[in-house]
């Protein structure tokens, strides 16, 4: 059974019709990529899942674990959705620059009461990204772009999500750094977190993901395994720079 | 002459304490929802009348009255946020600003309707009227009370904002409303809390205002509201330490302007306040401690 299921979601932002009937599924344990050009509606899809944007029509269903019952989260408030186990790491990192690194991580665990487990998760995040421990007293605004990205991912992990929504982790980062981040994502996924990844860097995303969807102007136009899409003629032309 | 200056500085400290308390609320509310709340000064008026009511009605000791007035101001702030500002959430900034002007006029006229426009004498128990002399300077017990209360409240606030989970949530919400929601923070609660604390402090400032000037009327909120707004902008609107600094600078500046220049200039004190504001903004558009608005890409 699917972990996340979006059924025919229609979303307006102001007067603009952004999502025109999007349906997609994410299964437990997967990495799913959502690729497409600027303005296709990828970010809106994520913020509709996390409750920042409301759909006018359609349903979003979530099942934290394979053996739990499916819940309708279409109308749930953003904070309720975090509590159910979906964590959204927003586009452009958006760490809290007035807070120091440690506080940024702690605020990721804002809804949790299990103090000891929070401490051990802090250790875990610092093992993934050791630089965060070295910089823990620095204000997040003074970190480099790559460090901020690691902090943003670490912060999103601190709520112990079952499903992690990642919006463009490669944005504005040096290629070497992007590779490190993608390796970390693979590790995070291997340790049991399902990932829905929005990426402009289609090549890397398709390599990492088991399955992927292609979005164009508010609709899903193609879907398949990462391999299939990477070999698809139209995808190669539009997103992978093939001629 | 030295004694005279020392006395003026002391007066500045007292005035600055009150400005700072009101300015903190201004800055907290602006910081969290980018609302310039012109009704904030009227909470000062409500605090003053609430104090008077409590003093007249019974033998409640002054420290208890401080707590009750804080709670009264806080409740008033929560009420205003709930009925007037929450429905405007997401509307353009100007809408909120005009709403706040409307609330301000409403509160002032309700005050006139219910309490008449006649200024009333503000009662202080005798022990607060005692005058102490320290060398060349003298002050009343109430002045000392104003400064001490203000400083204690500000220390509490700074500790709350810096070192508690709630304070962390408030700082996060002030920086980025939507990302705060992604962390699971209920921003309605955080915004309500900012209104409650800010308005509570304004209420207590109203109590001080009455004690200092001895007379209160339903329109008294205008001046502290405006001055606190200036103080908040000087300090960098959105920054709590900035509001404190701005409040004290304004208090000192105003008192020294009046105290050191020949008396004929004293009616220009408000012109001085606004000239200072303009000059500071010309050099530092974000105020003294304001955060830069540009963001890292």
The answer as to whether B297 is a domain residue is no
pLDDT at residue B267 in the model = 87
- The token pair that represents A212 in the structure block: 């992927």
Size of interface A-B (CB pairs under 8 A): 63
Average pLDDT over residues B167-193: 96
- Apex B16 CA angle, B34 and B122, nearest 5: 100
Residues of B in contact with A94 (CB under 8 A): 176, 179
Do B296 and A145 lie within an 8 Å CB cutoff?
yes
pLDDT at residue B209 in the model = 95
Distance CA B169, CA B157 (A): 14
Residues of A in contact with B297 (CB under 8 A): 92, 172
pLDDT surpassing 50 at residue B193: yes
pLDDT at residue B297 in the model = 34
Average pLDDT over residues B39-44: 97
The tally of domains found in chain B comes to: 1
Residues of A in contact with B178 (CB under 8 A): 52, 90
Look at A114-128, A163-177, B16-30, B283-297 and tell me which has the smallest mean pLDDT. B283-297
When computed from its CA atoms, the radius of gyration of chain B, rounded to whole angstroms, is 19
pLDDT surpassing 50 at residue B239: yes
The answer as to whether B275 is a domain residue is no
Would you place residue B129 in the very low, low, confident or very high pLDDT band (cuts 50, 70, 90)?
Answer: confident
The answer as to whether B248 is a domain residue is no
B242 or A200: which leads in pLDDT: B242
Please state, for a pLDDT cut of 90, what percent of chain B lies above it: 74
**Residues in a beta bridge with A211:** A32, A225
Average pLDDT over residues B89-104: 93
When CB atoms are compared, the residue of A52, A106, A110 closest to B184 is A110
The answer as to whether B212 is a domain residue is yes
Span B266-292, pLDDT tens digits: 888 889 889 989 999 899 989 998 876
Q: What is the distance in angstroms between the Cα of B69 and the nearest Cα belonging to chain A?
A: 32
What is the C-alpha end-to-end distance of chain A, expressed in Å? 39
The answer as to whether B196 is a domain residue is yes
Q: What is the distance in angstroms between the Cα of A56 and the nearest Cα belonging to chain B?
A: 18
pLDDT at residue B159 in the model = 97
Span B144-159, pLDDT tens digits: 999 999 999 999 999 9
- The token pair that represents B251 in the structure block: 């208090």
Please indicate if any CB of chain A lies within 8 Å of the CB of B188. Answer: no
User: What is the H or E stretch that residue B192 is in?
Assistant: helix B187-213
Residues of B in contact with A98 (CB under 8 A): 171-172, 174-175, 291
Structural domain range at position B155: 2-220
Do A110 and B183 lie within an 8 Å CB cutoff?
yes
pLDDT at residue B292 in the model = 64
The answer as to whether B280 is a domain residue is no
Selected for mutation to probe chain B from A83, A89, A101, A103 (highest B CB count within 10 Å) is A103
pLDDT surpassing 70 at residue B295: no
ipTM: 0.93
pLDDT at residue A100 in the model = 95
Q: Which residue of A has its CA nearest to B166?
A: A110
Q: What is the CATH number of domain A2-94+162-239?
A: 3.40.50.300
Strands (E), chain A: 2-13, 16-27, 31-36, 57-62, 71-72, 86-89, 163-167, 194-199, 211-216, 219-225
Average pLDDT over residues A141-164: 95
Residues of B in contact with A113 (CB under 8 A): none
């Amino acid at each position: 059974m699917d972990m996340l299921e979006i059924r025919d979601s229609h979303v307006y932002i102001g007067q603009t019709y952004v999502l025109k009937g999007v349906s997609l599924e994410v299964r437990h344990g997967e990495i799913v990529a959502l690729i497409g050009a600027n303005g296709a509606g990828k970010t809106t899809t994520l913020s509709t899942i996390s409750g920042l944007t409301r759909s006018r029509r359609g349903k979003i269903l979530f099942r934290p674990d394979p053996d739990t019952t499916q819940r309708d989260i279409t109308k749930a408030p953003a904070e309720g959705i975090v509590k159910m186990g979906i964590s959204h790491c927003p586009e452009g990192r958006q760490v809290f620059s007035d807070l120091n690194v440690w506080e940024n991580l702690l605020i990721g665990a804002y809804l949790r009461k299990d103090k000891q487990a929070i401490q051990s998760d802090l250790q875990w995040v610092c093992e993934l990204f050791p630089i965060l421990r070295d910089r823990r007293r620095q204000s997040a605004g003074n970190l480099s772009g790559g460090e901020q990205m690691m902090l943003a991912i670490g912060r999103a992990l601190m709520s112990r999500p079952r499903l992690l929504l990642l919006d463009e982790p490669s944005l504005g980062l040096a290629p070497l750094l992007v590779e490190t981040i993608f390796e970390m994502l693979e590790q995070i996924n291997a340790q049991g977190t399902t990932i829905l990844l929005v990426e402009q860097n289609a090549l890397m995303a398709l390599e990492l993901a088991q399955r992927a969807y292609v979005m164009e102007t508010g609709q899903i136009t193609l879907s398949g395994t990462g391999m299939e899409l990477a070999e698809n003629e139209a995808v190669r032309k539009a997103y992978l720079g093939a001629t | 002459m030295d004694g005279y200056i020392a006395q003026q500085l002391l007066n500045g400290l007292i005035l600055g304490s009150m400005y700072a308390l009101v300015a903190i609320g201004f800055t907290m509310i602006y910081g969290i929802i980018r609302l310039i709340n012109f009704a904030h000064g009227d909470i000062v008026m409500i605090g003053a009348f609430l104090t008077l009511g409590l003093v007249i009605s019974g033998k409640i000791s002054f420290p208890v009255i401080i707590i009750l007035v804080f709670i009264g101001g806080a409740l008033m702030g929560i009420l205003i946020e709930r009925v007037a500002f929450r429905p405007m959430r997401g509307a353009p900034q100007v809408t909120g600003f005009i709403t706040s002007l409307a609330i301000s006029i409403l509160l002032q006229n309700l005050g006139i309707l219910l309490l008449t426009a006649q200024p009333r004498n503000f009662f202080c128990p005798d022990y607060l009227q005692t005058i102490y002399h320290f060398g060349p300077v003298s002050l009343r017990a109430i002045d000392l009370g104003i400064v001490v209360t203000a400083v204690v409240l500000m220390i509490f606030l700074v500790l709350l904002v810096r070192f508690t989970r709630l304070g962390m949530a408030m700082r996060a919400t002030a920086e980025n409303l939507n990302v705060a929601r992604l962390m699971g923070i209920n921003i309605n609660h955080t915004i309500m809390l900012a209104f409650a604390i800010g308005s509570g402090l304004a209420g207590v400032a109203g109590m001080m205002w009455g004690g200092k000037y001895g007379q209160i009327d339903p329109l008294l909120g205008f001046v502290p509201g405006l001055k606190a707004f200036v103080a908040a902008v000087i300090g960098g609107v959105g920054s709590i330490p900035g509001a404190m600094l701005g409040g004290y600078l304004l208090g000192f500046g105003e008192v020294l302007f009046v105290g050191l220049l020949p008396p004929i200039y004293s009616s220009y004190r408000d012109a001085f306040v606004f000239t200072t504001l303009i000059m500071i903004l010309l050099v530092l558009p974000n105020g003294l401690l304001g955060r830069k608005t540009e963001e890292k890409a």
